[in-house]
């Protein structure tokens, strides 16, 4: 089955993001854009986590949907020709800034959890390391390998995908503060990385030129800071 997914967005609690980034608006815009699966973004922020628990309900395994009463409220704003099911997955972007190999590394990662319980465990673990309350995209002094380890320990089905991997700043392969190889970053845990996000600075055809990444799935997302930007890499 083919469908459009956008697995990298932010909420209104991330810096420089629209106040319109709420579950109801995301549901509406996903239908207008033809997006079937959306990461909720920013689940480590306590206020957003509480709002998601209040407004989402379980759907298929590991997925959620807007509660029925909220869907009924929003559906009249969507043309009949656009109406379709929308599913949410619990995701967050985490900024890791740390020293490794004699250099400062600045790398962004996407983490996903299949349940609120697992997401909560991950948030508790990360709050012991740094501040997750001031920004929907937490900035932590945390080695990427250790972050991956924490994500895996949060529960079965939790996973990590390096974000916008070729962006010069804040990326796995970034020229300014990244690494030359996946294994240099994640060491013995590298086999747990199964996908890379291309980001707005590259596209799949550029990434496919590197045979060393043939085992990895490539995903392209919007990194939306407003509802209107959802799905812009579809």
In the numeric block, the tokens 């920004």 are attached to 135
42-64: per-residue pLDDT in tens? 999 999 999 999 999 999 999 99
Spatial separation of the C-alpha atoms in residues 77 and 219, rounded to whole Å: 30
Q: First-to-last CA distance in the chain?
A: 16
**Model pLDDT, residue 234:** 66
**Model pLDDT, residue 190:** 98
132-170: per-residue pLDDT in tens? 999 999 999 999 999 999 999 999 999 999 999 999 999
Residue ranges covered by each domain of the chain = 5-229
What is the topology classification, in CATH, of domain 5-229? TIM Barrel (3.20.20)
* 210 Cβ neighbours under 8 A, 6+ residues apart: none
Helix (H, G, I), strand (E, B) or coil at 185: helix
For the chain, list residues with pLDDT below 50: none
């Amino acid at each position: 089955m083919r469908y459009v997914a956008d697995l990298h967005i932010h909420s209104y609690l991330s810096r420089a993001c629209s106040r319109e980034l709420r579950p109801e608006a995301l549901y509406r815009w996903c239908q207008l854009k033809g997006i079937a699966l959306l990461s909720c973004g920013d689940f480590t922020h306590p206020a957003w986590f509480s709002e998601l628990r209040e407004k989402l309900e379980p759907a298929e395994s590991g997925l959620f949907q807007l509660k029925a009463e909220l869907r009924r409220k929003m559906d009249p704003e969507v043309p009949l020709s656009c109406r379709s099911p929308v599913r949410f997955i619990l995701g967050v972007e985490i900024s890791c800034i740390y020293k490794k190999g004699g250099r400062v590394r600045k790398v962004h990662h996407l983490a996903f959890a299949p349940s609120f319980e697992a997401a909560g465990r991950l948030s508790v673990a990360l709050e012991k390391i740094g501040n997750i309350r001031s920004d929907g995209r937490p900035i932590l002094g945390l080695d990427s390998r250790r972050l991956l380890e924490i994500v895996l320990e949060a529960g079965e089905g939790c996973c990590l995908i390096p974000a916008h991997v070729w962006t010069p700043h804040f990326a796995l392969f970034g020229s300014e503060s990244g690494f030359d190889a996946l294994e240099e970053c994640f060491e013995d845990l590298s086999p747990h990385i199964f996908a890379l996000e291309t980001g707005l600075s590259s596209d799949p055809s550029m990434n496919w030129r590197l045979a060393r990444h043939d085992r990895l799935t490539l995903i392209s997302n919007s990194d939306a800071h407003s509802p209107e930007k959802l799905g812009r890499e579809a």
